Structures are given as C-alpha cells and as structure tokens.
Amino acid sequence: MHHFRYSGSDLHCESVDLAAVARLYGTPTYVYSATTMEDNYRRLQRGLEGLDAHLCYAMKANSNLAVLRHFANLGAGFDLVSGGEIRRVLAAGGNVRGSVFAGVGKTEAEIALALEHGIFSFHVESEPELARINHVAGRLGVKAPVAIRVNPDVDAHTHAKITTGKSDNKFGIPLAHAAAAYEAAAQYPHLEIRGVQMHIGSQLTSVAPFVEAVKKVAPFAAELKQRYGIKYFSIGGGMGIIYRDALASGAAQWWESQPADQRPLTPESYGAALVPLLQPLGLKILLEHGRFMVGNAGALLARVEHLKRGANRNFLVVDAAMNDLVRPAMYDSYHEIVPLHRDSSRRALVADIVGPICESGDCFAKERQLQELGEGELLAFLSAGAYGYTMASRYNTRGMAAEVMVRGSTFELVNARETFEQIIAGEKVPAFLQR
Ligand SMILES: Cc1ncc(COP(=O)(O)O)c(C=O)c1O
C-alpha cells in the first residue's frame, strides 16, 4: 500500500498535487512519500512481532539524506556498502553504531572509517577479507565485530542480475565452508565474532526462497551461538514490491481482491512464515530490506517532449531517460506509467515510451497503452523509489534529477537538480592540450 492516488482527475502524493511539484521544480523529478516509508517500516515491525528484530535499511536502494534521516528517526540502522555510504549516514544524523557494513571489496580506508565510527558489524564475504579487517583493527588497537555472509545456494527466482544467494554468485562463503571460515576468524586476535548473515537476492515475490534459506542456515546459526556466543542472525533483505499494478496496489481493496494462492508477498506473510523458524534461535534478527521500504514510496515525474508517429509504431518522447531511471534498460523492468492529469474523454494511444538519450535501450516501455498526450503534458513512473536515483548517471551530460519529499500536504526539495557547472566541476583540460 502507498499514498499515490488520483484525487479527482489529478495524481496526488499524499495530499500534494504532483503537477504543482512539477511546475515548481521542473522535470525529471523524483517524489517520495514520507508516510508510505513510515507505513512500510511499521508494517515490517508488526509482521515480525515476537522477534528481537532490527532493520538495517539497505541504503543502496535510496540514500537521499532526507530518506536516511526519516529511517534513523524511526529507529533503523543501515546496511551500507562503502565509505561514501558511511559518510552519508553521518551527514544525515544516522547511527553507524546500529549499522552493518557489507560488500565483497571493502578497502582498508573504508574498514578504518567504519571502525572509527563504531560499526555494529562487518559482513565478511571471504577469508582474505577476514585477514584485512583483522589487520586494520590491529593497527587501530580495537577489536572488529564480524559476521560471515554465508551463501545458502538457494534460487531466489528473481532476475539473474539481482540473484545473490546461488553458489555461482560472487557473494558470501558457501555454507559447507563456513564452519572453517569461522574457525579462521576465531584465530585472529583483533576480530570479535558477533553474528552470521545471508542475503539471497532482491525483488522476491514469494516467501518460499526465504523459508528455504532460513531453514538451511538456522541450524548453523544455532551451532555458532553455542560455539562462539554469536548475538545475531541477519536474514538480509529482498522483499519485492508491486510494479505491474503499482497504482491499484496503493489501496487495501486491491490486496483483498487477489486470489489467496497468488497473493503477493507482504510483511505479514513474510513474518508469519519466518517468525516461527527464527524465534527458537533466541538471537537478535537483523533485516536489510531496501526496495520494500522505499520502492512504492517514490515516483519519477517527467514531461512529454513529442509524440513521434513512426511507420510501424508511435514513440512518446519524454524528458526523463535511462540515466535517470536505468531499471528498464538494465533489467527489462516494468514501471507503470500514468498521466498526472487523467482524462477519460481522450483517445487511447499505444506507444513506446522513450527518453532522449542516443541509445535504443533508452526505452521505458514498449507498446504501452495510455491516454493520448501532447507536448508539455506530465507523466509519473510509479514504484520508482528504490534503485532509481541511486543508480542514475550523467550519461549524455544530463544532470542528476531533482528529488522532493512529501508529507501530508507539505513538500520540500530534498536535492536540487544538478547544474552543468556541477557536472564539469572536477574536469579540466591538461596543460599539454592548451594552445
Ligand atoms: C547484502 C544485501 N542486503 C540487502 C540488500 C537489499 O536488497 P533489497 O533492496 O532487495 O531489499 C542487498 C541488495 O543488493 C544486499 O546486497
């Protein structure tokens, strides 16, 4: 459920008319609903009642400082993957002490920065990394808290590029080798074994792979608790969101209308399946959801440049492009695209919805049906709050989009559109080319 809906003919985020946002800040602009994020956070908490659960929000999904501050205020820590993300948490006033540091290639400088700010735990992906963390901790005269990421070899049944828990993915240590890795960790003088972690993939729409992975790893977690006194089990993130019926899924009735055997994953069904498996462990349970927390809380606003009628198909050219929202080009992802002003008297239009970038891949949707739209009219790409802005680039020297946060009837710019001067600020022509 979320807070994007039509009020009359005009698409609103909470009580804000999105056309007003586009008029004030231009397009392309990301808009985030603070209330939807809070609802998602609270639903997940309620779904896991009975566990000592703590969310480390996977900030790679959306790391705008306002979003981070919002989750920090709610009590979340962060799943972070770089020195830059540590600095973002600090800049947002978040808590590194309640956060975990993941990733297969942490540098010595990043490890040192995390230790200096009291990171809750490192999620270690390999044996060489154990040695590196031990070395940096020794240099700083501290003990580094670690958990090993185990790879349970479970098929998450999601897109190949976001599957992470199969044996041929680069992540984690195979379950069969994990006991030896913990033994190695226990020999290092500057490491403190604190937990165990797994993450099997992103955009999972069924609870079955989570259940399979937890069933595989829980007995190992119990052994680690006995042997090393571990304190927590992080079951990763990965809960999926609704992309195809994004607008309709904002309302409770849509969820109720889904046939019981095909109901998409919810925090309630996730909790109902996992709490009984996790409770007997008596461990703190960490969650690293990113997409679920913010995905349906964001939309990308864009403006129509032209309707180009081709020989075989129509192209609706908009001012957003693959540099702003790369998911369709990168993963063939579907985003529901709706007009900001709905007019049922208009004729229907079937068109490919494309951006202005010089790549055939700069296409958001093929043969999509919409109402007829003309130059200057506004559109929203729904379910764009996760892996939208954070995966954006400056390709074709297009500045990064603006970002706006809404709460109730108020909204504020939380990231200004990038200017040309900002794009080229670090560049220069070398002396040997100047004449
Ligand atoms: C270790 C880890 N945790 C959590 C996440 C977040 O996944 P999601 O956004 O699907 O919840 C990821 C995503 O790549 C990840 O690699």
Evaluate if residue 158 carries a pLDDT over 90: no
Are 271 and 303 contained in the same domain?
no
In a domain, 119, yes or no: yes
Known catalytic residue at 13: no
Whether residues 156 and 184 fall in one domain: yes
**Beta-carbon count within 10 A of 251 CB:** 13
Mean pLDDT of 50-64: 98
How far apart, in whole angstroms, are the C-alpha atoms of residue 28 and residue 281? 47
Is 61 a pocket residue for ligand 1 (Cβ < 6 Å)?
yes
Question: For residue 17, is it within any domain?
Answer: no
Query: Using one digit for the tens of pLDDT, what is the confidence trace for 174-222?
Result: 999 999 999 999 999 999 999 999 999 999 999 999 999 999 999 999 9
Domain of residue 378: give its range: 296-419
Residue closest via CA to ligand 1's atom 5 equals: 237
d(CA 419, CA 26): 13
Longest C-alpha distance within the chain, in Å? Answer: 74
Question: Is the beta carbon of 103 within 6 A of some atom in ligand 1?
Answer: no
Asked if 236 and 384 sit in the same domain, the reply is no
Q: Are residues 307 and 274 in the same domain?
A: no
Question: 257-275 in b/e burial notation, b at 16+ Cβ within 10 A?
Answer: eeeeeeebbbbeebbebbb
Q: Choose among 184, 157, 162: nearest CA to 173.
A: 184
The overall average pLDDT reported for the chain is 95
pLDDT at 263 over 90: no
Query: Where do we find the tokens 């999105």?
Result: 18
Res 262: pLDDT: 82
Confidence band (pLDDT; 50, 70, 90) for 164? low
> Residue by residue, what is the 3-state secondary structure of 141-187?
CCCEEEEEEEECCCCCCCCHHHECCCCCCCCCEEHHHHHHHHHHHHH
Say what the pTM is. 0.96
CA 135 vs. chain centroid, Å, equals 31
**Residue having the nearest C-alpha atom to atom 14 of ligand 1:** 202
Same domain, 306 and 275: no
> Residues 101-108: contacts with CB within 8 Å, 24+ apart?
102/149, 102/197, 102/199, 102/288, 104/129, 104/170, 104/171, 106/132, 106/133, 107/83, 108/132, 108/135, 108/136
Q: How far is the C-alpha of 325 from the C-alpha of 395, rounded, in Å?
A: 12
Asked which of 291, 314, 348 is the last residue of a domain, the reply is 291
pLDDT of the residue at 167: 64
Residues 182 and 253 occupy one common structural domain: yes
Instruction: Please compute, for residue 289, the number of CA atoms within 13 A of its CA located in the half-sphere on the CB side.
Output: 28
- DSSP secondary structure letter of residue 204: B
Do 406 and 287 have their domain in common?
Answer: no
342: domain CATH number is 2.40.37.10
* Distance (Å, whole) CA 289 – CA 385: 13
285 pLDDT higher than 90 = yes
- Ligand 1 pocket mutation pick from 169, 199, 200, 289 by most atoms within 8 angstroms of CB: 199
- Regarding whether 368 and 231 lie in a shared domain, the answer is no
Shared-domain flag, residues 79 and 148: yes
At 194, which CATH number? Answer: 3.20.20.10
Domain annotation covers residue 207: yes
Q: Determine whether the shortest distance from the Cβ of 125 to ligand 1 is under 6 A.
A: no
Task: Please list, in sequence order, all residues whose beta carbon lies within 8 angstroms of the beta carbon of residue 50, skipping any fewer than 6 positions away.
Answer: 275, 279
CA neighbor of 237 nearest in space, from 185, 277, 279, 274 = 274
Is residue 247 in some structural domain?
Answer: yes
Decide if 256 is inside a domain: yes
Q: Whose CA is nearest to atom 16 of ligand 1?
A: 199
Give pLDDT, residue 310. Answer: 83
- Say yes or no: 177 and 315 in one domain: no
At 265 the pLDDT is: 93
Q: Which residues touch 358 (CB under 8 Å, ≥6 apart)?
A: 396
Centre of ligand 1 to C-alpha 403, Å, is 22
pLDDT band at 261 (very low <50, low <70, confident <90, very high): confident
Query: Is residue 240 in some structural domain?
Result: yes
324 lines ligand 1 (CB under 6 A): no
**Residue located via tokens 């985003």:** 335
Q: What's the DSSP call for residue 363?
A: E
261 and 309, same structural domain?
Answer: no
Quickly state the pLDDT bin for 172 (edges 50, 70, 90). Answer: confident
Whether pLDDT at 134 is above 70? yes
Instruction: Assess contact for 230 and 221: CB atoms under 8 A.
Output: yes
Return the minimum-mean-pLDDT range out of 63-67, 106-110, 170-174, 310-314. 170-174
Atom of ligand 1 nearest to the CA of 386: 9
Structure tokens at 220: 């190992």
Annotated catalytic residue, options 13, 56, 358, 363:
358
- Residue 297: band (very low, low, confident or very high) from pLDDT cuts 50, 70, 90: very high
Last residue within a domain, chosen from 247, 264, 291: 291
Strand partners, 144: 191
- Stretch 244-255: mean pLDDT, rounded? 94
| Domain endpoint, select from 270, 291, 312 | 291
- Tens of pLDDT, residue by residue over 66-125, are 999 999 999 999 999 999 999 999 999 999 999 999 999 999 999 999 999 999 999 999
Tell me, yes or no, whether 43 and 170 share the same domain. Answer: yes
Q: Which pLDDT belongs to residue 189?
A: 98
The helices-and-strands tally (H runs, E runs) of the chain is: 13, 21
Q: How many domains does the chain have?
A: 2
Residue 346 lies in a domain: yes
Are 16 and 288 within 8 A, CB to CB?
no
Q: Is the pLDDT assigned to residue 416 strictly greater than 70?
A: yes
Query: Which pLDDT does position 435 carry in this prediction?
Result: 87
Any domain includes 433: no
